[in-house]
Amino acid sequence: MNSLETFLFTTDLGIVILTILKSLALIVPLLIGVAYLTLAERKVLGAIQLRKGPNVVGPFGLWQPFADAIKMLMKETIIPAGANRALFVLAPLLTFGLAVTAWAVIPVSNHWAIANINVGILYIFAISSLGVYGIIIAGWASNSKYAFLGAMRSAAQMVSYEVSMGFVIVTVIMCVGSQNLNDIVLAQRHIWFAIPLFPMFIIFFISGLAETNRAPFDLAEGDTEIVAGFFVEYSAMSFALFFLGEYANMILISATTTVLFLGGWLSPLPFIPFTWIPGVFWFVFKIFVCLFVFIWVRGTLPRYRYDQIMALGWKVFLPISLVWLVMTAGFLEIFGMLPHA
């Protein structure tokens, strides 16, 4: 190693600088992706509804996200008189911060992650579970019945679907024998887990829709009955942070789905590895496909009733995921494929 590599990899200061550079290399593209995901959604929904979508600001409307950001920055942040000011400001920061923090363990290529820890999947599950606190805090701190009702809806919905997601994650861990996300991707070199674990793949993705409060599970933002839900009292950049947090969570769920079921950065054709195409390309491409389905579902399906959402989570997804977990464990044990510590 040369002197620069020695400094970066062996000294405390160098390791800190290297971690900061790796974080910026991941977070900056993520923030740009979040901004342009808002444009992509409006374009795709426009095509579904036979209209053009944003096409005025810049060529093909490409500067629309920047125009929206400038508009939000110029608006006044209004805090209701009866609100808890500290918690009111904290809630959107918490929601967006957690959505970005979870990316610390996502491997975008082989052994390329900010923190390649051995419990990466548990880290993501823990961070995504904490996301409900931002919504609950926002609903309570707003001192509004509509906001509080939306927060309670969202808390019950997210907790309900996290149970099924937990069983899905346990099934994947059983098949791999490791909680390291890099190992989970490499275990899919011959076949993606989306094929043998297809029901779990569908349950995980639909539960991801519910976790991010996306249509048809957007009861927390039910415009027809609770105005805008938990963020009804928010404006300007505090509203924008909730908005960006939702889209960052969409990208996170898509990335997690890619890692757990779609082979991560691996080529879609294992017998033709396309070694001249970097793994990052395949990783991003699969995320785009998942995000397109997110938007497609929003433009296709109407909103569920609240009792339908709860019934789907507790009476359909939970029994199926539990039964499939037991069947997978039995299959692996019978054929001697169950990993051992």
Cα 204 from Cα 124, distance rounded (Å): 14
- Taking residues 54-62, report their average pLDDT: 89
Q: What is the pLDDT of residues 267-293, one digit of tens each?
A: 887 656 556 778 889 999 999 999 999
Instruction: Answer whether the bond into residue 216 is a cis peptide, omega within 30°.
Output: yes
Q: Mean pLDDT throughout 127-134? A: 86
Minimal CA–CA distance to 325: which of 204, 211, 205? Answer: 204
Share of the chain above pLDDT 90, in %: 37
Tokens of 229: 């839900």
Contact between 292 and 117 (Cβ < 8 Å)? no
Query: What would the mean pLDDT of 147-163 be, rounded to a whole number?
Result: 85
Q: What is the DSSP letter of 312?
A: I
Sign of the torsion formed by the C-alpha atoms of 206, 209, 211 and 215: negative
**Percent residues over pLDDT 70 in the chain:** 93
Residue 228 to residue 148: CA distance in whole angstroms: 11
Q: Where are the domains of the chain?
A: 81-334
Pairwise CA distance, residues 20 & 97, whole Å = 16
109 phi, psi to nearest 5 deg? -155, 180
Q: What is the DSSP letter of 136?
A: H
Residue 338 has what pLDDT? Answer: 76
Range list of H helices, 102-216: 120-141, 145-176, 181-186, 198-211
Predicted pLDDT of residue 293: 95
Residue reference for tokens 């039910």: 222
Q: What average pLDDT does the structure give for the chain?
A: 86
Per the model's pLDDT, the better-predicted residue between 228 and 183 turns out to be 183
Per the model's pLDDT, the better-predicted residue between 84 and 225 turns out to be 84
Among residues 51, 77, 56, the alpha carbon closest in space to that of 67 is found at 56
Is 201 in contact with 194 (CB distance < 8 Å)? yes
- Is pLDDT of 66 > 70? yes
Tens digits of residue pLDDT in 216-270: 888 776 665 666 678 888 888 888 888 888 899 999 999 999 999 999 998 887 6
**Six-digit token string for 294:** 């997110």
User: CA-based Rg of the chain, rounded to a whole angstrom?
Assistant: 21
